[in-house]
Structure 1
Amino acid sequence: MVYEVKRRHLPYTKLKAFLSEIDVKQKDLAQTLGISNVALNQKINGTGGDFSLEEVRKICRHLNISSDAFFIEPQVSKMITKQV
């Protein structure tokens, strides 16, 4: 039997990959936000509620990242295009 994951919003795959890249554990980020590990994991994977504006601010300050790149338009690559 195949189970389909019910998502409330798109997962934050770019944020998840970045955390792995800089070796920041989800449990540490959850502690920074004052939420449980499970709640953070559900928010990142899109299966729980979405991040609040205050949580986004805390994450961006803590990780020194842009909300545009990781939360507003996470699926859009920041590629430089060459004009012909």
Structure 2
Amino acid sequence: MKSVNRRHAPYTKFKAFLSENGVKQSEVATLLGKSNSALNQNLNGTGGDFSLSEVRVICLHYGISADEYFLRPQVSNTKRFTA
């Protein structure tokens, strides 16, 4: 079995959100101005992490909580970024 070297924990809760809402990873990559490959590495923990500004853009665009999906995914929370 191949071992995966992760730089940070994968964002499984955000990936599930995308899947449940029919959002393609390519849409998020375009929103952030990055390649599909770079976004996939962010999501899976094999590349760099999301910057705070990227997390803010994602949360504002999709109306989701940074705490719930990025900072403390093990704890459900309803704090949301506001414009």
TM-score by length of 1: 0.88
Gaps of 5+ in 2: 78-83
Map of 1:56 onto structure 2:
55
Q: Secondary structure at the match of 2:2?
A: coil
Map of 1:81 onto structure 2:
none
Map of 1:70 onto structure 2:
69
Identical positions, percent: 64
Gaps of 5+ in 1: 79-84
Q: Which amino acid aligns with 1:9?
A: H
Instruction: For CA contacts below 8 A with separation 6 or more, give which structure has more relative contact order.
Output: 1
Which has the larger Rg? Answer: 1
Shift of 1:76: 2.5
Q: Secondary structure at the match of 1:75?
A: coil
User: Deviation above 4 Å: which 4+ runs of structure 1?
Assistant: none
Count of aligned pairs: 77
Change (3 A) 1:77 1:66: closer
Aligned alpha-carbon RMSD (Å): 0.9
